[in-house]
Amino acid sequence: LPSHPVIPVFPGATRTNKRNRTHLQTFSRASYYQLALEQLHSHPEALEALGTPLNVHYLRLTDKYNFVDIADAKLKIPVSGPKSEGHLYVSSSRDAPFKRWNLQEVFLELKDGQQIPLFKPSRDNDEVKKE
């Protein structure tokens, strides 16, 4: 992760209500969200495609792709940089409530449709595979 914090931005929004801000803050602190951003920040091809510094934008709570329940989380995180923009797609799961979240898949889809895989678990064993 960079030494400076990535500040979520919300372009085009004139206001957000207190409840939405609370939900957005909850997402940004969740381990499935943080683990996905770590994958993005440590992937040279993704960083080259977007450019730095990166901007991580707020989730659109109305987007049906964004879904979290007791065992599964799927997020579509808007990201941008000086060169391009796109969405970080995240799929995570856990075995039981209060257990650790495990990434299932993370990929970056740029606005031109190009997809850059960032993470998939290895099928051979329980180790993690970084693309």
CATH number of the domain at 39, please.
Answer: 3.10.450.320
Whether 10 maps to a domain, the answer reads no
Whether 84 maps to a domain, the answer reads yes
Q: Which tens digits make up the pLDDT trace of 27-78?
A: 678 899 999 999 999 999 999 999 999 999 988 888 999 999 999 999 999 9
Whether 55 maps to a domain, the answer reads yes
Whether 76 maps to a domain, the answer reads yes
Whether 90 maps to a domain, the answer reads yes
In the predicted structure, residue 85 carries a pLDDT above the cut 80: yes
d(C-alpha 111, C-alpha 67), whole Å: 22
In the predicted structure, residue 14 carries a pLDDT above the cut 50: no
Whether 7 maps to a domain, the answer reads no
More confident position, 106 or 128:
106
Please, is 131 exposed, middle or buried when counting C-beta atoms within 10 Å of its C-beta (0-12, 13-18, 19+)?
middle
Counted domains in the chain: 1
Distances in Å between the Cα of 100 and the Cα atoms of 32, 83, 91, 94, 129 are: 9, 35, 14, 6, 18
Strands (E), the chain: 55-56, 67-68, 72-80, 85-93, 102-110, 115-121, 128-130
Q: What is the mean pLDDT of residues 92-109?
A: 95
- Residue 24 is predicted with a pLDDT of 56
- Residue 122 is predicted with a pLDDT of 79
Whether 71 maps to a domain, the answer reads yes
Cis check: omega of the bond before 78, within 30 degrees of 0 = no
Residue 46, domain extent: 18-130
More confident position, 93 or 13:
93
